[in-house]
Every structure is written in structure tokens, then in C-alpha cells.
């Protein structure tokens, strides 16, 4: 049964948060703010936060730069995972991926199904490794970010979570 092994040391990770939106500002970005608060509450460090337009080139250059930054272990994006023309996040993440993490999207949709039912089928949430940086592309709603954080990421980014977690793999990428 999965559990926290309190005998293991907690490793604080450094996370970057990217919000993709053509309409939000940092003041109205509730999903990005939720992720920043949640990661801090879990004991991690916010290394960087930015809000950018839904633009392929801009997201591509930001992900390339951040994934090469030794001060960032994990990147969380919020927004742009749907099906409309402007939803480009999974496409850009997958184009840069060294390895995909298909189980992340599968488990996210399973978690999300409990909250929004079959509407979760419209989400293209994705997890990937870009070089040595973990990247998780989440939908833009605060509820979806909460589902992803509380149902998956808070555990998988905790070095004490057993039987295994992403945090313990970071030095092996």
C-alpha cells in the first residue's frame, strides 16, 4: 500500500510554474497561484513563475531555457491542454520530450473523472522528461490543478513517498 515513509529525509525540490493564457494576468491567475501555494505548503521552493500567451514559439523557448536551468527540477504548466486552436501546451511539451510519462495523463484523467465526469476526456494533460527536468502540463482550471496536485504530484514529488516517487529519480536522469 502506498504511504509516506517518515524515516526517509524530505527533499525540497525547485519548481517553475508557467501559466499559458491570453486573458489572465498574474493577479487573476488562480490556477498558477494555487500551484505556487501548494508547492510551498508541501515544502518545495518556487524557483520561477511566469505568465505567457498561448504561443508555441514562446512556450518552446521558455521550456528550453527552464529545462536547461540547474536551479529548476520540475516545471508545472497550467493552461493550453484542451482541444481548441490556441491549446498548444501538450504539443510543445511532447516535441521537446526526452521521454514521455504516459501514466501521468492517464492517472490525471482518472482523478479528474471523479470531479467532472466524462468532460475529462477533453483534457490532454501530459507528463514528460525534458533532458533532466520533469514537466507536467495541467489544464488551466484551478480545480484541475488541485486534482493533479492532491491526487498525484504532492505524492510523486515527495522523496518519502513509497514504493517509489519522481523525487528520488532526479539524480538518475
What tens-digit pLDDT sequence spans the chain (173 residues)?
889 999 999 999 999 999 999 999 999 999 999 999 999 999 999 999 999 999 999 999 999 999 999 999 999 999 999 999 999 999 999 999 999 999 999 999 999 999 999 999 999 999 999 999 999 999 999 999 999 999 999 999 999 999 999 999 999 99
Domain with 35 in it: 11-172
Structural domain count of the chain: 1
In a domain, 72, yes or no: yes
Distance CA 121, CA 62 (A): 27
pLDDT given at position 108: 98
In a domain, 33, yes or no: yes
In a domain, 88, yes or no: yes
Any residues with CB less than 8 A from the CB of 18 and at least 6 apart, and which? 49, 50, 51, 52, 59, 62, 63, 66, 75, 76, 77, 78
**How buried is residue 26: exposed, middle or buried, by Cβ count under 10 Å (0-12/13-18/19+)?**
exposed
pLDDT given at position 171: 92
Q: pTM (2 decimals)?
A: 0.97
3-class SS at 47? strand
Distance CA 157, CA 22 (A): 29
DSSP annotation of 27: T
pLDDT given at position 162: 96
In a domain, 4, yes or no: no
Angle at 77 (CA atoms; ends 74, 2), nearest 5 degrees: 55
In a domain, 98, yes or no: yes
Read off the CATH number of the domain in which 86 is found: 3.40.980.10
pLDDT given at position 1: 81
In a domain, 6, yes or no: no
In a domain, 3, yes or no: no
Single out the residue of 143, 56, 65 nearest to residue 108, CA to CA. Answer: 143
In a domain, 1, yes or no: no
**How buried is residue 114: exposed, middle or buried, by Cβ count under 10 Å (0-12/13-18/19+)?**
exposed
Q: How many helices (H) and strands (E) does the chain have?
A: 6, 8
pLDDT given at position 136: 98
pLDDT given at position 50: 98
Amino acid at each position: 500500500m502506498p504511504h509516506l515513509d517518515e524515516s526517509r529525509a524530505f527533499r525540497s525540490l525547485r519548481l517553475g510554474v508557467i501559466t499559458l493564457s491570453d486573458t489572465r494576468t498574474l493577479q487573476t491567475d488562480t490556477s498558477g497561484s494555487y500551484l505556487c501555494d501548494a508547492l510551498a505548503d508541501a515544502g518545495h521552493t518556487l524557483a520561477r513563475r511566469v505568465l505567457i500567451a498561448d504561443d508555441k514559439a514562446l512556450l518552446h523557448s521558455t521550456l528550453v531555457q527552464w529545462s536547461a536551468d540547474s536551479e529548476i527540477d520540475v516545471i508545472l504548466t497550467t493552461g493550453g491542454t484542451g482541444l481548441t486552436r490556441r491549446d498548444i501546451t501538450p504539443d510543445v511539451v511532447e516535441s521537446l520530450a526526452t521521454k514521455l510519462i504516459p501514466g501521468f495523463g492517464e492517472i490525471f484523467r482518472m482523478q479528474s473523472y471523479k470531479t467532472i465526469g466524462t468532460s475529462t476526456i477533453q483534457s490532454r494533460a501530459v507528463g514528460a522528461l525534458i533532458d533532466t527536468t520533469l514537466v507536467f502540463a495541467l489544464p488551466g482550471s484551478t480545480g484541475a490543478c488541485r486534482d493533479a496536485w492532491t491526487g498525484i504530484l504532492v505524492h510523486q514529488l515527495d522523496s518519502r513517498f513509497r514504493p517509489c516517487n519522481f523525487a528520488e529519480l532526479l539524480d538518475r536522469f
